[in-house]
Homo-oligomer: A and B are copies of this chain.
Amino acid sequence: MDIQSLVRELKTPNDSKIVMLVADGLGGLPLQTGGPTELEAADTPNLDALARKGVSGSMYPIARGITPGSGPGHLGLFGYDPVKHLIGRGALEATGVGFKLGANDVAIRCNFCTLDAQGNITDRRAGRIPTEQSAPLAVKLREIKIPGVEVFVEPVKEHRFVVVFRGAGLGGNVADTDPQRTGVPPFEPVAGDQESKKTVEVAGKFITAARKLLADQPKANALTMRGFSARPDISTYQEVYGLKAAAIAVYPMYKGLAQLVGMEVVGAASTLAEEIDVLEEAWNDYDFFFVHFKYTDSRGEDGDFDAKVKMIEQFDSVVPRVIELNPTVLLVTGDHSTPAKLSSHSWHPVPTLLVAEDSRRDRCESFGETEALKGALGHFDAVELMPLALAHAGRLGKFGA
């Protein structure tokens, strides 16, 4: 069953407010058998109090055993089937540097590379050219004009940059031009369908013009293109849920993901405390607030258990300010687990909390992975979280008579 279609039919607007606090990579693992996870080791009096008041559960971002990237992880949280709604690599890269993709855009991940005099690749990453040198080259490529389309070029990092073509009739089905080896020239772009022929033509012109502009460069004298992708065709929060939604995040990637589902990015916070400032200021203007906290994931990726514990404690410390706003439904969750033990995203379920006046109760005494096993939310999939939130907010009508 496609639960989102059902929700779309049943949505019933009201004046409720829903807050979704996302601690990126929240779930963890014990360092030793029998020990606590990061969340269990952390001193989290505010989250523990919420766990006693609300209901807990174990949430699967995609499915059992599947480790999500940030894109699918967030789409699931937002209630969109992350396997059906794939975000192309190019679209994700553009989103990640804060580029707001439009409906007529095709986004492409590009690499600077090095060609020899015969036009064969000698280095697929232009010697991993430092960002200080590559960014000005990417900016220089903005000089390229192609009739009938708008061209955007955004530096990313080292040899990577992103190109967006904007115009009618640009399909996203184009094969990569990176041959994945040296000693041969880059491939010509090739269309995978009729709709992408114009994209190939535009890409060809861009490549030719770029090689002229880069001809005198010692390393980055050409480029390869990968992950051609149109903006994913996703309905908005307004269309699906009837929610006017605000996204509060520090990192461009998460702002971009929220924009893809029609959230408005509000504020320009650079710390968690500032994010809560923005939440307070925007409180009267939106129905739904996605608040993203990055550093739980970052410290997990670093493999630093204690630092992740501290980040969770920092996250806990802002909870009273959120409660003060008296949201109808408060969700506390993560987009996936990032156990410090693994220094990477993982497949483990994410401890999740829902607090609302009309929630059932359970016997969880604190917020944590093991305690959540007793929780009233049980084991559930990320795409089920938004329907639960809407129901507890009184925003879903009855199905059938």
Contacts and interface: CB of A to CB of B under 8 A. Distances in A.
Interface of A: 1, 3, 6-7, 10, 29-30, 33-34, 37, 53, 58, 62-73, 81-83, 86-87, 89, 92, 339, 341-342, 344-348, 358, 360-363, 369-370, 373-376, 378-380, 384, 386-392, 396-401
Given A341-B358, A378-B379, A400 B63 contact: no
A384 B64 contact: yes
Given A71-B400, A399-B72, A63 B362 contact: no
Given A53-B33, A72-B400, A81-B1, A373 B374 contact: yes
Classify the secondary structure of A's interface with B: loop
B373 A65 contact: no
B67 A398 contact: yes
B7 A399 contact: no
Given A67-B391, A342-B358, A373-B376, 4 more contacts: A58-B378, A66-B391, A69-B400, A360-B369
Which of A82, A86, A346, A398 has the most chain B CB within a 10 Å cutoff? A398
Contacts of A3: 63-66
B378 A375 contact: no
Contacts of A400: 68-73, 82, 86-87, 92
Contact of A373 (B89, B345, B362): B362
A375 B37 CA distance: 16
7 contacts: A64-B384, A66-B391, A67-B396, A68-B399, A86-B400, A346-B358, A379-B380
Nearest to A388: B65
A358 B66 contact: no
Contacts of A83: 1, 6, 399
A272 B345 CA distance: 39
Contacts of A33: 53, 361
A1 to B, nearest CB: 5
Contacts of A64: 3, 380, 384, 387-388, 391
